[in-house]
Amino acid sequence: MVEIEGAMSWDAIDRTGAAVTIGLEDANPIGAYTVAFSHGSPIGRAQFIDSSTVAGERIFFHTEVDEEFGGRGLAGVLMRVALADSIRRNLSVVPVCPLFARHLKAHGDEFVAAGGAFRRPNRDDVALATRVARARRDGT
């Protein structure tokens, strides 16, 4: 079970039964929900940009888990916490990341019923995510 209420970090269990902590790096321009084993360094992240043009929108554009920890369900844990926190913060989700897009395509009605909101990404969303990610990578 994932605990969300008012927290900046959440405890969860992966598929192997190992305890993990999900944290929030609320940075500008790129923030991330991170996953780590208790008191360890992050081993995965779901990156996002808060829209500069539409208040209350969070664009999720990339989710990754270190290869050696693949198959443990950690990307799914990251995504579920990120979506639950988006509901808590009253943010509309824009799923540029394929993981988020697939999940919301299959379970979007459930997400909305739980209080969430989302819309399909457009070219401008993809261009913004690409531009910001490249700038960060290139140090500009």
User: Which residues, 6 or more positions from 126, have their beta carbon under 8 angstroms from its beta carbon?
Assistant: 96
pTM of the model: 0.89
User: Are 34 and 25 spatial neighbours (Cβ–Cβ below 8 Å)?
Assistant: yes
Tell me the pLDDT tens digit for each residue of 79-135: 999 999 999 999 999 999 999 999 999 999 999 999 999 999 999 999 999 998 888
Closest CA to 60 of 21, 105, 30, 27: 30
CA–CA dist 58, 119 (Å, integer): 10
Domain boundaries, the chain: 9-138
Tell me the pLDDT tens digit for each residue of 44-88: 999 999 987 888 999 999 999 999 999 999 999 999 999 999 999
* Local confidence band at 140 (pLDDT 50, 70, 90 cut-offs): low
Tell me the pLDDT tens digit for each residue of 5-14: 544 889 899 9
Domain 9-138, architecture per CATH: 3-Layer(aba) Sandwich (3.40)
- Find where tokens 């008191």 sit: 39
CA–CA dist 9, 24 (Å, integer): 6
